[in-house]
């Protein structure tokens, strides 16, 4: 991992674009927050998405995702995204969506 991306007190999770070196999706999470990578959701190579499962202090788990859709995305790309979100619902039903 690149040290210039490190933030004190945070853990960086990222998914690079396969063989391309011009981007990735990433999530920073405070190191004291209980979390784990959702490997079963992060294996789809058709989309740029990275999922984390976060456990709150009261014991409830929820999913967080960083996702990128390029301006030139086709309908098939959005179908892959929908499939990935549906798979996430099977892992954990408490999903929130924030598009930035």
Let me know if residue 59 belongs to a domain. yes
The number of distinct structural domains making up the chain is 1
pLDDT tens-digit readout, 41-73: 888 788 889 999 998 888 788 888 998 888 888
In this predicted structure, what is the pLDDT of residue 96?
A: 56
Q: Give the structural domain span for 80.
A: 3-91
pLDDT tens-digit readout, 12-47: 998 877 665 567 889 999 999 999 998 888 887 888
Backbone angle region of 97, left / alpha / beta, with phi > 0 → left and psi within -120 to 50 → alpha: beta
Structure tokens at 25: 């999706």
Let me know if residue 70 belongs to a domain. yes
Let me know if residue 96 belongs to a domain. no
Backbone angle region of 39, left / alpha / beta, with phi > 0 → left and psi within -120 to 50 → alpha: alpha
Structure tokens at 72: 């030139």
Structure tokens at 90: 């099977």
Three-state secondary structure call for residue 5? helix
Let me know if residue 99 belongs to a domain. no
Let me know if residue 13 belongs to a domain. yes
């Amino acid at each position: 991992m690149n040290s210039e991306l490190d933030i004190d007190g945070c853990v960086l999770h990222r998914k690079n674009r396969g063989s391309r070196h011009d981007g990735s999706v990433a999530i920073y999470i405070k190191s004291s927050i209980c979390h784990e990578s959702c490997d079963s959701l992060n294996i789809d190579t058709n989309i740029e998405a990275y999922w984390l499962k976060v456990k709150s202090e009261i014991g409830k788990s929820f999913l967080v995702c960083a996702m990128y859709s390029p301006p030139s995305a086709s309908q098939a790309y959005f179908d892959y995204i929908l499939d990935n979100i549906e798979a996430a619902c099977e892992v954990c039903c408490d999903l929130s969506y924030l598009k930035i």
